[in-house]
Structure 1
């Protein structure tokens, strides 16, 4: 990958002439195909294009040279389910009571329990909007938006589903030697048709995606390739483990799982090239939250923190966007964005008017990355889980805790969040507290919660892995 990249931001007006041409081209295209690839629990630093020297991700590294790489991309939650709910709705999930807790949760204010907890049915998903725009839609892999039948992907805008309803499962076929009693672990094809794959699951999801692309190459399609890789359980193929003789333990297994993930992404991209679809396809690759360093040995450096907390390592993620015709390839976009922005960006590319959809918190990224709009996509971003919360306003970030005073960081100077400036800038702390509270009181009460023990565990994980 090249060491020198173009930089896109409001600070570089010399690109404007080129960029306006690109902007006009992108907006004049026929409906592009949309491939959205989401990895699970990967470390911020565990890709070659993110600087890793240990892991091998050649296909994603190549995609990075054909993409805009966003250096400050954020998820709306530090754990899997709520993050995905935000992506699918384009809204802060707390607005409809889906706070930073996975389903099923422990306690429900509405009286629902267990599998009946899920992404509320009154929320319309990007898949449903794209269906209305004439897209063939498919989800391959992890759902995690509710186990009950009424939450099923095929009832939420996906024409095709091959995957599992839960949040994690084995990468190998269930049999007498690999047993699960949880129905949400079962692989389904469509609705209620169970079909275990004899392939390693990461490979199976790529192969199903390739088949879908082949079968739908003459019409616009939307693929949500929702990998469970590299989430636990830590299960890698022997052939991939052999590629990392110098690594040991969980780190070795994770590297092998990441290699399989990369190979699967490459298979999908190669199929687009083979069918000459790449020039009219947008590809986005990102991750659902920060890496959980304690459970899978992922690395989030130079960021501090991990999955489940609001330090940068829990909420900032790798993010690549390859536009049709690979315009703006091998470039870097430096201003903060959110995965909430995917919904309006995809909908706009599909021919819809995102401004007509009420309640979106995400924005269409195209005017920003092409330079038509030189301001930041977001002046302010928010995160909240019960008492814990965070707000980023411009480059100032305030983190609220249940067991200690709030912390304040200047991310422009300290992205590792080492130098707490709360004492030095009490007025900024006060203003951010007020701004956060104004946002917080606009939200619904959480529909379900977890045992308080999990909050204690999250704080302990934060202290152990914060730097």
Structure 2
């Protein structure tokens, strides 16, 4: 096994080995899509409400200079899975993006053309799921994958169970069922996607709490399409009006305007729904008496979308956002909760 493949295991196990329990710890990895470092109340947002994640952060080791390995999703996710830099695993852009002369079809006139890239996660690379599985862990994946098509899904890279992980980089049916996802059965019409993924994760923990497990909860949120309920939209619309934030403006950055203020009520509702789902999983750990032996990792795959797809959020004071190689595009919320360590958000 290559040394780079052990990066994550070394980080979360060996680094905290001084007082670790005799039994193997469970690992819950929570990955939020397109979530900016400033999108948490814990990190300074005065608009979005994320009480459950904030509480987790306050008890965790907080990495104040956490960075993604790429400004877009697929390369960053491949790095998380393998411990390799993008140039080594070869996925250097989001899978599905055009390259070479095809780039011109999108009316882009950059002098330099993007190079070709690997379009699926290589089976020659050891994933964290494969490494943990070899060491007696039951492995579970729920949510966004975006690391290849059929033949390169989570179950092909070490995960015993795969719920909703396939080739799409966004929720094809939106955030309310029917989901139009071949890896996710529709149950209740109008069901919230983030909560469904949380409930599937809880079900896995209930079924496998008697053995060490690795649960990778990979939210499609907060990737576009930006959607929320009427109630949550109304809450954040009222909040924006009260703060006189609504449509405070954008600033032009070379080719695209970039949102300068966190004032998007639809995005606020989407963020809160994701936080609600995180809360369900964390509460389940307590209810199942698994919280004392479960390491929880929380991070994102790239910066918040401040321009382009949905103009969702602002990453200020960091420049840019998703798709940009500036701080706003790669700076991430990143913290690790280790129950037998007293970190208090430091």
Per the shorter chain, which TM-score range? 0.7 to 0.9
Choose the corresponding residue for 1:55, options 48, 56, 61.
Answer: 48
Question: 2:342 matched to 1:328?
Answer: yes
1:301-340 → structure 2 map (5 Å cutoff): 301-325=316-340, 327-332=341-346
Count of residues in Structure 1 that have an aligned counterpart in Structure 2: 289
2:177 is aligned with 1:173: yes
TM-score (ref. length: structure 2): 0.79
1:273 partnered with 2:286: yes
- Deviation above 4 Å: which 4+ runs of structure 1? 194-197
- The offset of 1:164, in angstroms, is 3.7
Q: Following the alignment from structure 1 to structure 2, what is the Cα–Cα distance between the partners of residues 135 and 164?
A: 20
In the other structure, the counterpart of 1:161 is 162
Q: Deviations over 1:223-282 (max 9, x none)?
A: 110001111001112232233222258710111001001110010000001111111010
User: Equivalent residue of 2:336, what SS?
Assistant: strand
| Conserved? CA contact 1:42–1:298, under 8 Å | no
Report what 1:243 is aligned to.
235
Aligned-partner SS, 1:122: coil
Q: How does 1:54-133 map to 2 (within 5 A)?
A: 54-99=47-92, 101-107=93-99, 117-133=119-135
**2:208 alignment partner in structure 1:** 216
> What is the CA distance between 1:42 and its match in structure 2?
1.6
- 1:104 positional shift: 2.5
Listed as ranges, the gaps of 5+ residues in structure 1 are 1-21, 109-113, 176-184, 333-467
SS for the counterpart of 1:243 is helix
Pair 1:283 & 2:300 matched: no
Question: Does structure 2 conserve the Cα–Cα contact (< 8 Å) formed by 1:79 and 1:289?
Answer: yes
Q: 1:188 is matched with which residue?
A: 183
Structure of higher CA gyration radius = 1
- 1:160–1:66 CA distance, 2 compared to 1 (3 A): same
- Structure 1 residue 35 displacement after superposition: 0.4
CA distance in 2, matches of 1:211, 1:238: 28
CA distance, structure 2, for counterparts of residue 159 and residue 261 of structure 1: 25
Query: After superposition, where does 1:315-394 map in structure 2 within 5 Å?
Result: 315-325=330-340, 327-332=341-346
Inter-partner Cα distance in structure 1 for 2:90 and 2:133: 26
Residue 195 of structure 1 and its aligned partner are, at CA, apart by 4.5
Cα distance change on mapping 1:71 and 1:89 into 2, 3 Å: same
